[in-house]
Amino acid sequence: MDKSKTKISWRVEKTWAADVPGLRTFLLAEEHEFFTPYAELEAKLKLYNEREIEKSLLLSGTTLESSDYLLPLAQFKYLNIWEAVKCAALMAYKEAVSLKISPLVLVMDAPDASGFHKKALEGIILGSYAYEQFKGGAKSKEKKSEIFVPEIVFVSGGLDQPLITAELERLQTVCERVNRIRDLVNHPPAFLGPEEFACEAVKSAAACSLKIELWDENRLKGEGYAGLLAVGRGSNKPPRMVALTYEPEIDGDKKVPHVVLVGKGITFDSGGLSLKPGASMVDMKSDMAGAAAVLGAMEIIGRLGAKVKVTGILALAENMPSGTAQAPGDIIVMKNGKSVEVKNTDAEGRLILVDALQLGASLEPDFMVDAATLTGACRVALGIDVAAVLGRDADLIKRLKAAGEESGEILWELPLEKAYLENMKSDFADISNIGNSAYGGTITAALFLGEFVPEEIPWAHLDIAGPAYPGKKWKYFAPGATGYGARIMAGLVKNLG
């Protein structure tokens, strides 16, 4: 079994005696014990706290079978409490794996602990993922099949045990869907082009009870979706567009809100004829992380249900240089008749998003959100920990930020300053695909998209260029894709219900 597919099993118990085998873990907060210590640990904890120890401590007798693990959250001092719990739970899980102790018992019997069980499981499931299908050959696969997987026990104490169980079941579904799309983003570009991505969406539709509609290059041409065709011209892998729809059960003629989610899916971005430097190309298989996030959100919604209608649109293309590729100076006439001068073929993501946004707008949604690894400028401005949100509907932006806080995916609002449109004027077309200034690239990219979204549609843009693929081990994530954005968009839909 691939380690990335290891199934985490868990259960909820009201109490757990000290003499029962297992690795009991106590997550200790700086100012308050969220996980109340059992009586026999009080003296040890008093000494532990008096000495201000900030390292984990394993307490064991002559055997490891019944051990206690003290894990202070203070060692994760740069994270908020929710993210610290995820990292701490993953640390405890790895300790249980290393010591081959099962079950891992997470004690949560304090009134304040409500909700922490979800964060702990989230950290363990997302943190135990690794993309290793090309590592080590047959012997490595045999070793992976022998990996020790401890059971997890959540001690609920006086909390509502059935409610905790239901929340954990829901959370497990969310995390497993996120890990699936992390696989897609981590796949080598030779394995996942536009056609293969569209096939993955077909699988998702079948598995998650979603309706699906597909556009190949002929249909794209016939319906005037010029952005995808222009970007895909240089590749021998033609572009695709996919629309997935979730329809809730409706009583009678009741009208429900309709949310459209749009994702950028450049399966590999060489920059086209505006070629990227070699070092900047290495991680460009991840330039479809926005589309993957939308696919993940749709899978979550399909599995868990929602009270609103949701359509997820994936714009899929590969951006390559060749004799047939679009060139700087080319002009594209988009579906709505607006012309775009291509001043840089490496600003291609916005060109394919325009097609998907126009399809989304034609559905007259109540809300529309797009997600894209759109600009390097966003990484410069906000780093890898934070994504940008821009839009013209304050309520929608507030809802997205709230969903991000719930999942630990932080959004920072940047201004959609219309004055910057002056920099995007073209002498030969209605607008150019980049600004004529070296500054404010994240804002000008969002402004460009906004030119193709009708004013009456509440719309927001997520630039997830930083946290979608940090390029290193990050918090509880292994190197590679994080699935950033899927939980935000699924959370937005859940909260709208």
**CA 371 – CA 424 distance, rounded (Å):** 22
Residue carrying structure tokens 């630039």: 463
Backbone angles phi, psi at 254, to 5 degrees: -60, 130
28 alpha carbon, distance to own chain's centre: 28
State the number of CA atoms in the 13 A half-sphere of 298 facing the CB: 37
d(CA 57, CA 6): 27
Look up 51 and say whether it is catalytic: no
Angle, to 10 degrees, between the axis of helix 161-186 and the axis of helix 116-127?
A: 30
Instruction: Please give the Cα distance from 420 to 435 (Å, whole number).
Output: 8
Instruction: Tell me the sheet residues that pair with 261.
Output: 312, 369
Cα dihedral 152, 153, 159, 160 sign:
positive
User: Does residue 343 have an active-site annotation?
Assistant: no
Longest pairwise C-alpha distance within the chain = 80
Dihedral sign for Cα atoms in the order 315, 267, 392, 491 = positive
Q: Name which of 408, 469, 404, 411 is nearest 442 in CA terms.
A: 411
The answer to whether 319 and 234 are in contact (CB under 8 A) is yes
Task: State the catalytic residue, choosing from 118, 144, 343, 350.
Answer: 350
Closest C-alpha among 24, 186, 194 to residue 102: 24
Question: With contact defined as beta carbons under 8 Å apart, do 433 and 343 qualify?
Answer: yes
Catalytic site residue from 276, 335, 338, 392: 276
Tell me which residue of 248, 119, 185 sits closest to 483, measured CA to CA.
185
Residue 418: what residue type?
A: K
Pairing of strands 57-60, 66-72: antiparallel
* The two three-digit tokens of residue 206, written as one number: 């079948």
> Where does residue 115 rank: exposed (0-12), middle (13-18), buried (19+ CB within 10 A)?
middle
CA distances from residue 78 to 175, 245, 371 in whole angstroms, order as listed: 24, 39, 27
Strands 386-391 and 459-463: antiparallel
- Helix, strand, or coil here: 91? helix
Q: Given the DSSP bridges, would you call strands 211-215 and 22-28 parallel, antiparallel or unpaired? A: unpaired
Q: Which two three-digit tokens encode residue 329? A: 């100076």
DSSP H/E element including 29 = none
Q: Are 343 and 325 in contact (CB under 8 A)?
A: no
CA distance 416 to 450: 9
Task: Give the residue numbers annotated as catalytic, written as ranges.
Answer: 276, 350
